[in-house]
Structure 1
Amino acid sequence: MNNSPGSPQLKTNSEATQKRTLSEKDWINKWEKNNIGFHQNHIHTFLEEFVNDLLNNRKQVNIFFPLCGKAVDMKWLTDMGHTVVGVDVCEIGLKEFFEEHNIPYVEESLPDIPDGKVFKSTCGHISLYCCNLFNLSSSVIGKFGGIWDRGAMVAINPCDRERYAELILSLMEDDCRYLVVTSVYDIKSYGGPPFCVTDAALETLLGLSCNIQCLKSVEGLTEKQKPWGLSHYEEKIFLITLKSKS
């Protein structure tokens, strides 16, 4: 995503020292070069394990996928009868999602978003927006009963994280259940992405408005992370819900 001016860094969080930023062009280049190690060809194990924490026994939930790429999780949830809205800056992954799952779709322009597009399944259950995430709002895409954030919070430039949190909060229905996966590691060894997001950072970003519950933490170090110079790579999943207004 673009490193937006005017978004202050979180001075109280150690990961704000991660100075590296990626632009829209950087992410598009990754897709053009098929450098998409962040993509998984299977349902995320955390989502499989905690899907009912997302759905809470509800049917036909409207679910948001920030920085969705071509996540197969979207097909899995729509097959259950839910609707999905995703967004990504590069159309390559969005088109590949429909093509790889043989889902007919149509392409529409977005008059209110310069160069923006939306790809919609003809069945009406999937809408994938191609634009800068921060160009979206509830007036464009509505609000959601669920959010699955497997790779957005950790991909957003740290200096844009407060702005991202504000956007997510604005998209949450009162009963929204937001699952977010974070990565924690020694930031002296690796500059990201994925960027390190500590529990303290999550609390600073969302704790005032939301209840934050850690559902699981696992050691996620694999051969993929070892070249980054890491000896420890923790993955966590959190359930985030809005606090009662009463």
Structure 2
Amino acid sequence: MEFEFWDNCWQRESQPFHLAEAHTFLVKYVEQFFSKDKKIFVPLSGKSVDLVFLSQQGYYPVGIEFNPKAVNRFIQEQQLEFSSQNFPVANGNQLTRHHNDTMEVWLADFFDITENHVGKFEQVYDRAAFIALPESMRADYANHLKTLLAEHATILLVTMDYQPDEMSGPPFHITLDEIKQQFPEGGVEELCRCSLLDSHPRWKELELSRLDEVLYRITF
């Protein structure tokens, strides 16, 4: 993971990728595509209030985040009470599972998480993982994610669409062709897109010709 970059990001108070409310895409589509009787996997969850929204709506989200600042802030800001367990892994790292009756949040490197830890998922909400990784890591991410998918899984994937010569990322520019390349077993459908140019001062500073957030549904 790009730990140093994201660690520096979490030291700043205002982040364009962090929203004070649940993401509009999630609010609009969760009931249409996700079921409350199955857990929802949320990789690189940061301190996203999407987890709180999902739990309040009766879903059980399972977040994975590798940055302890983000996890600690999430727990403190949302005033959550969790039970916690630590799990060593072979490479010397440690995984920590925070959980209660409504959600769980793992402090862990995504690539250390296995089916033995979290099981398999039919529902994945990826708002901030795929677009946070450089191209050299996205194939590894997709392949590892697929080891955690059950049959007939659905992924709601949020991406960014902009002129790549105007911004280097992260968040990285993701094309429909790349999604199809990384998930060739799945059917890919664009569900929604909206412009972010006026949503945060950081985006305005970059003076981009366009910056669209795009929601795709990947079905297996």
TM over 0.5: yes
User: Contact between 1:53 and 1:177, CA under 8 Å: does it hold in 2?
Assistant: no
Structure 2: which 5+ residue stretches go unaligned?
Answer: none
1:42 aligns with 2:21: yes
> How is 1:99-118 mapped onto 2 (pairs within 5 angstroms)?
99-112=76-89, 114-118=92-96
2:192 aligned partner: 216
2:179 aligned partner: 202
Identity of aligned residues (%): 26
Query: Whole-Å Cα distance in 2 between the matches of residues 197 and 96 of structure 1?
Result: 29
Q: Deviations over 1:85-130 (max 9, x none)?
A: 111111122122222222211332221263423242333x322122
Query: Whole-Å Cα distance in 2 between the matches of residues 27 and 53 of structure 1?
Result: 32
Task: Say which structure, 1 or 2, has more relative contact order (CA 8 Å, 6+ apart).
Answer: 1
- If the length of structure 1 is used for normalisation, what is the TM-score? 0.82
Q: 1:165 aligns with which of 131, 142, 164?
A: 142
Query: Whole-Å Cα distance in 2 between the matches of residues 35 and 89 of structure 1?
Result: 20
Q: Which amino acid aligns with 1:180?
A: L
Give the Å deviation of 1:40.
Answer: 0.6
User: Contact between 1:94 and 1:119, CA under 8 Å: does it hold in 2?
Assistant: no
Corresponding residue pairs, total? 217
Q: Deviations over 1:54-77 (max 9, x none)?
A: 31xx33221111110111111111
1:91 aligned partner: 68
Query: Whole-Å Cα distance in 2 between the matches of residues 218 and 240 of structure 1?
Result: 19
Query: Whole-Å Cα distance in 1 between the matches of residues 25 and 60 of structure 2?
Result: 20
> How is 1:47-66 mapped onto 2 (pairs within 5 angstroms)?
47-55=26-34, 58-66=35-43
- If the length of structure 2 is used for normalisation, what is the TM-score? 0.91
Q: Which amino acid aligns with 2:189?
A: Q
> How is 1:1-246 mapped onto 2 (pairs within 5 angstroms)?
1=1, 23-34=2-13, 36-55=15-34, 58-112=35-89, 114-123=92-101, 125-206=102-183, 208-222=184-198, 223-242=201-220
Runs of 4+ displaced beyond 6 Å: none
Query: Whole-Å Cα distance in 2 between the matches of residues 29 and 220 of structure 1?
Result: 23
User: Contact between 2:156 and 2:216, CA under 8 Å: does it hold in 1?
Assistant: yes
Q: Which amino acid aligns with 1:186?
A: Q
